[in-house]
Amino acid sequence: MRVVALVPGGIGDQILFFPTLDDLKRSYPNAQIDVVTEPQSKAAYRVSKSVHEVLTFDYKDRNSLADWGNLVGTLRDREYDVAIAFGQSWLVGLMLWLTGIPMRIGFQGKGAVFLTHTVPFNPSQYAAAAYHDLLKPLGVTTSLPELAVNVPKPDIEWSQNEQKRLGVNETGYVLIYGGIDSASRTKGADKIYPVENWQPIIQEFQVKQPDMPIVVIQGADDELFVRSLRESCPEIKVTSPDNTGKLTAMIAGANLMLSTESAPLQLSVAAQTYTIGLFGSSDPAKLLPKSEKFLAIKSPTGKVADISPTTVSEKIWGG
């Protein structure tokens, strides 16, 4: 069986779709599963254990009819048996109908008229569970598996060497991500937790756990944030993984992850690292599974910056 899943969104959205892909592969071990995702999200599949090939298509771009036609042609040529549509779009539904793929699965709503099988979308549900419902037309009715990743061996070895370089391989470390990934940038400034808020949280850590290093993740666009943080907290250490596998391996090695809503937050859940997530306007119940390992702090105003450092410290220390 050849399956293609159309998965728009950022890297975090892809990670939330991993349990669906993994359960599909578990139920149909001989299936070849491909995904069509946005160019900036292809990196997520470095740590996927179930996907055969990743195709890219910029769903948000102002695509011409020729662009859509090229995608239709590509999918038609590959002779897929099943298509799974992640989003709710009449244009995607029409495109899938034009491919001639026999079984086309998606959510009820826009574009459903072009699909052969639909399932209701529950917007208040944990996102990974909502996506997992798309497998029901294929007879997969098992409960949602945990988020999981498969980190390549070279990335694990890089992380081990990086921990030695930082001098944290024996002590353990607390990991912080407070930067601005591509998904956060498109959704607005309410995802940003400012340096002046991180400063007292880090300083309290250094007082209460002086032997526990603080390591900050620096992504491609986080140089200004990290530089400002180092000016106020010069003792922190900085790591700059250059791919998703290395980032995941560093997260997996941490004792605790503190993160704003981002792709690293979802990778932390998948790595089963103890995690505290800072949320602005988003509902944490949709983005974090119910577990004592994963705690959420939601802003009272819808802006992450309005979460007080005291509130974060209380969550860390159980106050």
Query: In this predicted structure, which of 32-46, 54-68, 243-257 has the lowest mean pLDDT?
Result: 54-68
pLDDT in tens, 2-37: 999 999 999 999 999 999 999 999 999 999 999 999
pLDDT in tens, 134-154: 999 999 999 999 999 999 999
How are strands ordered across the β-sheet holding 174-177?
237-239, 214-217, 174-177, 256-260, 275-279, 294-298
Answer yes or no: is pLDDT of 111 > 90. Answer: no
Query: Which pLDDT score is estimated for 65?
Result: 83
Contact 303, 190 (CB under 8 A): yes
Give the number of C-alpha atoms closer than 13 A to the C-alpha of residue 22, restricted to the C-beta side: 22
Query: Which pLDDT score is estimated for 64?
Result: 82
Q: How far is CA 116 from the centre of its chain?
A: 29
The model carries a pTM of 0.92
Q: Residue 193 — very low, low, confident or very high, per pLDDT cuts 50/70/90?
A: very high
How much of the chain exceeds pLDDT 90, in percent? 84
Query: Which pLDDT score is estimated for 180?
Result: 66
**What does residue 238 show for φ and ψ, rounded to 5 degrees?**
-125, 135
Query: What span, in angstroms and rounded, lies between the C-alpha atoms of 77 and 31?
Result: 17
- Mean pLDDT over 266-286 rounds to 96
According to DSSP, the residues that pair with 3 across neighbouring strands are 33, 82
Query: What span, in angstroms and rounded, lies between the C-alpha atoms of 12 and 252?
Result: 16
pLDDT in tens, 58-92: 987 677 888 889 999 999 999 999 999 987 788 88
Mean model confidence pLDDT for the chain: 93
8-state DSSP, 292:
T
Query: Which pLDDT score is estimated for 242?
Result: 95
Query: What span, in angstroms and rounded, lies between the C-alpha atoms of 197 and 163?
Result: 26
Contact 67, 88 (CB under 8 A): no
Following DSSP, what letter does each residue of 218-278 receive, concatenated? --TT-HHHHHHHHHH-TT-EEE--SSHHHHHHHHHT-SEEEEESSHHHHHHHHTT--EEEE
Amino acid making up residue 263: A
- Domains of the chain are 2-138 (3.40.50.2000), 153-317 (3.40.50.2000)
